[in-house]
Amino acid sequence: MRTAPTILHLDMDAFFASAEQAAKPSLRGKAVVVGGLGPRGVVATCSYEARVFGVHSAMPMAQARRLAPNAAYLVPRFGLYREISEQVMGLLRELSPLVEPLSLDEAFVDLEAGRTAWDEASARLTAGKLRADIRAVTGLTGSVGLAASKMLAKIASEQAKPDGLVLIEPGTERALLAPMSVRILPGVGPATGDHLRRGGISTVGEIAEAGEDELVRLLGKAHGGSLYAMALARDERPVVAERDTKSVSVEDTYDVDIHDRVRVRTEVQRLADRCVQRLRGAHLSGRTIVLKVRRYDFSTLTRSETLRGPTDDAAVVREAAARLLESVDTTGGVRLLGVGVSGLADYTQEDLFAQARVAAAEELQQAGGAAGAGAGAGSSGAGQEEAAEVVAEEPEPVVERQWRAGHDVRHAEFGHGWVQGSGLGRVTVRFETPGSGPGRVRTFRSDDSALEVAEPLPLVGRVPAVRGEG
């Protein structure tokens, strides 16, 4: 194991909720809960103000509402969170080529590999600068742990929360770990923790005292041996650089099961478009189109189709996803839909067959228009029948606009704001931006043509002013 604390673990503080508070001045310092707001929803994350009431991640949303009825409950904005995550990961990669992301808001960094730290003083200096840079670039805070191993660096960042820095000096690890619960060790979940407790082991120090043979007897050779080593502060796991993306996908879970087949098709087309946007944003293309459907009974089906070559053409992905949907029975209702692309490449091979189909469809449409004109001039009944067959299309479904709590909107008169709530044909909007003060609240008809969905504004930097404040 290393003799210097040159492994860094960063964990952003209450990431989703903190991003929402930074974006919405009226929520700063208040309880904020982010997650699914439907009857099946769970808490994705919550602000520290909400945690005071006992709310925590993975809690059913209904229980959170009982504990904190006056909190702000918002639907996640993953697009915004990913943008912030990319900014943070970019700062980490400036420190070292060895960055191991664990999620959008958490990562290990090998400072020694980047030659940005080699002893305690340089590691502390680098970590302090990183925290300042994160705040300057994103407006958010992150907690940092420094140690000679990944396990200890993660423990240190937990101790540093919120908005702190903790360095564990080499040589002090065993004394630090001894009084801690066994649950602090990687790989010890509720079941393993209960099993150890029944064996008379509740703390990390008691694992070390029990000895390796006893741990192997209780948990098996592999698990018991590794757990005993960790109790002695031995962790040789290296920081592994981010692996190449294997697939790109998007999915949505619906608060109420979708039964209308036309609505299901529309949602799949929308997801396909979003998937292609993400694919193009990563400068990738892919060969295999994947459809994911979770039905009313929680059974999950996946269907896939492999193309002749990689593509980033939205029409091709939509068409393939629609074909895959035809093989899935959605009669009982659908609670989740997803579209993904795998078999990725960093180039695009034109789908000549798709182009041919588009050209043929255009020719057919033109022929239909000509046939329709001929029929109007007195053509035969057979010609009229053929024309009707060509031009008859399924009408586009009218999909009601959804105003999700917390999501961005723009009004032609009042400017940028976010949805505070909606229902009964009305939508309530608070007009404010990250750079403004708390804004005013106004209510509109849900079909108001002056109101539209908007992209999130950057949390730091110049943003448009809110108009109409009087």
* Mean pLDDT, the chain, whole residue set: 84
Q: Which of residues 354 and 68 earns the better pLDDT score?
A: 68
Per-residue pLDDT at 470:
39
Q: Are residues 363 and 346 in the same domain?
A: no
Q: For residue 365, give every residue at least 6 positions away whose Cβ sits within 8 Å of its Cβ, in sequence order, or none.
A: 390, 391
Residue 308 lies in a domain: yes
Across the range 397-415, mean pLDDT stands at 82
Q: Which two tokens stand for residue 470?
A: 């009087």
Q: Are residues 342 and 255 in the same domain?
A: yes
Q: Are residues 225 and 310 in the same domain?
A: no
Name the maximum alpha-carbon separation found in the chain.
98
Residue 33 lies in a domain: no
pTM of the model: 0.70
The two beta strands, 285-295 and 334-345, are antiparallel
Indicate which CATH number applies to the domain containing 209: 1.10.150.20
Residue 421 lies in a domain: yes
On the question of pLDDT at 115 being above 90, the answer is yes
CA distance readout (Å), 275 to 215, 272, 342: 47, 5, 11
* Tally of domains within the chain: 4
Q: Which of residues 381 and 127 earns the better pLDDT score?
A: 127
Q: Which of residues 180 and 246 earns the better pLDDT score?
A: 180
Q: Are residues 338 and 253 in the same domain?
A: yes
- Rounded to 5 degrees, φ, ψ at 43 are -75, 125
- End residue of a domain, out of 391, 420, 440: 391
Q: Which of residues 461 and 364 earns the better pLDDT score?
A: 461
Residue 103 lies in a domain: no
Q: Are residues 423 and 346 in the same domain?
A: no
Residue 152 lies in a domain: no
The region, left, alpha or beta by phi > 0 then psi within -120 to 50, assigned to residue 179 is alpha
On the question of pLDDT at 301 being above 50, the answer is yes
Q: For residue 402, give every residue at least 6 positions away whose Cβ sits within 8 Å of its Cβ, in sequence order, or none.
A: none
Give pLDDT tens digits for 287-298: 899 999 988 877
Across the range 11-26, mean pLDDT stands at 96
Q: What percent of the chain has pLDDT over 70?
A: 85
On the question of pLDDT at 52 being above 70, the answer is yes
Residue 72: is it exposed, middle or buried by C-beta count within 10 angstroms (0-12/13-18/19+)?
Answer: buried
For residue 354, give the nearest of 316, 396, 403 by alpha carbon: 316
Residue 142 lies in a domain: no
Q: Which of residues 207 and 37 earns the better pLDDT score?
A: 207
Q: Are residues 266 and 318 in the same domain?
A: yes
CA distance 10 to 94: 14
- What domain range is 461 assigned to? 403-470
Q: Are residues 273 and 343 in the same domain?
A: yes
Contact 75, 36 (CB under 8 A): yes
Q: Is 11 labelled a binding residue?
A: yes
Residue 413 lies in a domain: yes
Q: Are residues 364 and 445 in the same domain?
A: no
Contact 147, 168 (CB under 8 A): yes
Query: 445 forms bridges with which residues in the sheet?
Result: 426
- Give the side-chain half-sphere CA count within 13 A for 213: 0
CA distance 96 to 113: 6
Q: Are residues 285 and 339 in the same domain?
A: yes
Indicate which CATH number applies to the domain containing 337: 3.30.1490.100
Confidence of residue 398 (pLDDT cuts 50, 70, 90): very low
Residue 88 lies in a domain: no
Per-residue pLDDT at 141:
96
The two beta strands, 285-295 and 247-258, are unpaired
Confidence of residue 400 (pLDDT cuts 50, 70, 90): low
The label of the residue with tokens 């229980």 reads 63
Per-residue pLDDT at 195:
86
Q: Are residues 442 and 387 in the same domain?
A: no
Q: Are residues 302 and 377 in the same domain?
A: no
Q: Which residues are catalytic?
A: 106
Q: Is 273 labelled a binding residue?
A: no
Q: Which of residues 41 and 420 earns the better pLDDT score?
A: 420
Q: Are residues 340 and 263 in the same domain?
A: yes
CA distance 230 to 228: 5
CA distance 152 to 150: 6
